[in-house]
Structures are given as structure tokens and as C-alpha cells.
């Protein structure tokens, strides 16, 4: 459990940034499947030794309605949308990172006059970076990562 600054309460830990890459790889594996794939198969295909981590990553994708989960003996995961309809922005948003990377730049400034000046001038730069990140990620889909 960690403290969520924005909500002001205890919350489960947010996913590490590296989970974005795992989520994208899982989506590529699912896009190449003709049927439902178990988390163990997906983990094996992308060399993730910790299947619990893979299930947690897939859970984020399920909650974002990018992936459908089916329970039971014949259960597993499949894409909810076509690969060309799943943008990298949707994947990034699905992972629900609490703060963008650039938020740390703002958070690290101090309350001294220099820190406050830096924060003031850094805010519009950070806002531009985050806007551009979203725009750039929206240009690409899972289909762009499939082998032809």
C-alpha cells in the first residue's frame, strides 16, 4: 500500500513504468492469437518469469476494456478491439500511472525562491511534453507492432 497524494488516501501501488512494455507485448501476442490465450502462455511468449505480474498487467488491460478475460478451464484473454483500434495512448492510459514522468520534475523543486522560479517556468514545459506524449502515442496502434 502507498499513499495516493491526489486522493489523499491509502491505495494499492501503481504499476511500474516498465509495465507499459509488458502490456504492449501482451497485446501483440493476443493480436497474433486465433483463440483465447492463457496468462501462462502470454508470459511464456514474452519471457516473463513471474506469471502473477503478467496477470496483474492483463488486469489493467481488462479494466480498460482493451482485453476480455474468460474464467474457467478454457479461460484466458483475448483482444476486445481490433489491433488497429488499440492506440499506444490507450495502453498508456490503461496502465493508470499515478503521475506522468515529468511530474517528478515539478515535485523535486523546493520552496526556496530559486525552486519556485524553476517550478513556475517548468510547468508550461511539462504541460507541453505531456500533451505531445499523448498526441504521439495516439498515432500508433498495436497493429504497427505486428510482423507482416
Distances in whole angstroms, Cα of residue 97 to Cα of each of 57, 93, 100, 104, 124: 12, 7, 7, 13, 21
Q: What is the pTM of this model?
A: 0.79
* Whole-angstrom distance, CA of residue 51 vs CA of residue 129: 34
Q: What is the pLDDT of residues 49-100, one digit of tens each?
A: 888 999 999 999 999 999 999 988 888 999 999 999 999 999 999 986 656 6
Yes or no: domain 2-145 corresponds to CATH 3.40.50.2300? no
Helices (H), 33-112: 39-45, 51-63, 88-94, 103-107
What residue spans define the domains of the chain?
2-145
Amino acid at each position: 500500500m502507498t499513499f495516493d497524494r491526489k486522493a489523499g488516501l491509502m491505495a494499492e501501488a501503481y504499476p511500474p513504468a516498465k509495465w507499459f512494455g509488458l502490456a504492449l507485448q501482451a497485446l501483440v501476442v493476443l493480436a497474433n492469437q486465433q483463440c483465447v490465450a492463457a496468462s501462462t502462455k502470454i508470459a511464456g511468449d514474452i519471457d516473463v518469469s513471474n506469471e502473477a505480474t503478467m496477470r496483474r498487467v492483463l488486469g489493467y488491460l481488462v479494466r480498460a476494456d482493451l482485453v476480455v478475460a474468460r474464467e474457467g478451464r478454457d479461460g484466458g484473454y483475448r483482444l476486445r478491439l481490433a489491433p488497429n483500434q488499440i492506440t499506444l495512448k490507450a495502453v498508456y492510459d490503461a496502465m493508470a500511472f499515478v503521475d506522468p514522468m515529468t511530474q517528478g520534475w515539478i515535485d523535486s523543486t523546493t520552496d526556496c525562491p530559486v525552486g519556485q522560479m524553476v517550478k513556475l517556468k517548468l510547468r508550461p514545459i511539462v504541460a507541453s511534453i505531456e500533451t505531445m506524449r499523448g498526441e504521439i502515442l495516439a498515432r500508433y496502434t498495436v497493429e504497427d507492432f505486428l510482423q507482416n
